[in-house]
Amino acid sequence: MSETPQNESTDSPDFESMTRDIAEVPAVEVIVTVAVNLMSAAAVKLGLTEEGEEHKDLDEARKLIHALAGLLDAGATEVSSFHAAPLRDGLKSLQLAFREASLIPDEPGQGPGEKYTGPVYG
């Protein structure tokens, strides 16, 4: 008997199945999921989780908040206000938390994502 592997890579992802699955997901759901992931990552980098200071990195948080603001700005017309309003509220909360966590706060309008949202005051 020859030793031919029946399924060479049982650990590799099934890209055909993944593509088919993502094709069935509405664009709004993808946008909202990405936004929620950015929000969660930013909260961790701001030290807002149980571990707090252990993962705090304001430089990383700035990048994530800025990316979130850009996504919400670009996607605002694509998602309904039902989805957009809570995401904008979450963004503003993260921007305020960033301002509070900064030793030297940015000038209003210069904080992360404020290029897209306008100034955030604490």
DSSP codes, 13-70 = --HHHHHHHHHTS-HHHHHHHHHHHHHHHHHHHTT-STTGGGG--HHHHHHHHHHHHH
- pLDDT by residue for the chain (122 residues), tens only, comes to 555 455 555 667 787 776 778 888 999 999 999 999 999 999 999 999 998 889 999 999 999 999 999 999 999 889 988 899 999 999 999 999 999 999 998 999 999 999 999 999 87
Q: What is the pLDDT of residues 68-86, one digit of tens each?
A: 999 999 998 899 888 999 9
By C-alpha distance, which of 98, 109, 4, 117 is closest to 47? 98
The CA dihedral of 32, 35, 40, 46, to the nearest 10 degrees, is -150
Whole-structure pTM value: 0.82
